[in-house]
Amino acid sequence: MTEISATTRTMPPAVERFVLQWGDMGGQWGVNRSVAQIHALLYLAERPLTAEDIAETLGIARSNVSNSLRELQGWKLIRRVPVLGDRRDHFEAETDLWEMATRIAQGRKEREIDPAAAALRACRTDADKDPRVSDIARKRLAAMDEFVTSLTRWHDQMLGVPAPKLMALVRMGAKVASLVGFGRGKPAAEKDSG
């Protein structure tokens, strides 16, 4: 039985398509397809679902569902919720898009950027102590370290901005670029000379 035929029994076509597409995108982002599909299903679900509901709807092994649910809980993208009269675990997804995006960004930063930044700082420290490392290599390591530090600081500052204000900033888009002297991604000087 294919993935598509397993899901068509219980999901409307639009929901099925979203679940399958989200699973494909997850694979491109380095997330297991099942994890992404479960997240998509829970995001669109009208009510909390049990692991059994998820396994049956998606045609995924129950053990795979359990592991995927643990991973999604680790990312804080879903939560276990009690349902009156049912002793089974039920799960629902975070549906606030800004909160979801913030949690994903924070999780990726902690898992990917922070270790890379720590390794970069260690390389820079080692390079500064080693006379065999060229000045060019030292300068480039320093530039990369400062760049990563600046982006990390900016990320941390953005986490403190209330979601409505951040959304207003995003919607302003080109107006913000114009305000700081850029138009359509080019510095004003380039735009005038080109």
Nearest one of 29, 53, 46 to 38, comparing CA atoms: 53
Print the domain residue range for 172: 97-188
Whether 139 is covered by a domain: the verdict is: yes
Residue 73 and residue 51 in contact, taking contact as beta carbons nearer than 8 Å: no
Q: Clarify whether residues 49 and 62 are in a common domain.
A: yes
Residue 39 vs residues 59, 132, 158, 172: alpha-carbon distances, Å: 15, 50, 25, 30
Q: Clarify whether residues 87 and 105 are in a common domain.
A: no
Report the C-alpha dihedral over residues 104, 105, 111, 115, rounded to 10 degrees: 180
- Per-residue confidence in pLDDT tens, the chain, 194 aa: 334 444 445 799 999 999 999 999 998 988 999 999 999 999 999 999 999 999 999 999 999 999 999 999 999 999 999 999 999 999 999 999 999 999 998 999 999 999 999 999 999 999 999 999 999 999 999 999 999 999 999 998 988 889 888 888 888 877 877 777 766 555 545 545 44
Residue 72 and residue 38 in contact, taking contact as beta carbons nearer than 8 Å: yes
Residue 8 vs residues 2, 4, 26, 65: alpha-carbon distances, Å: 10, 6, 21, 18
Residue 37 and residue 93 in contact, taking contact as beta carbons nearer than 8 Å: no
| Domain end among 46, 72, 93 | 93
Domain count, the chain: 2
CA separation for the pair 98, 159 (Å, rounded): 10
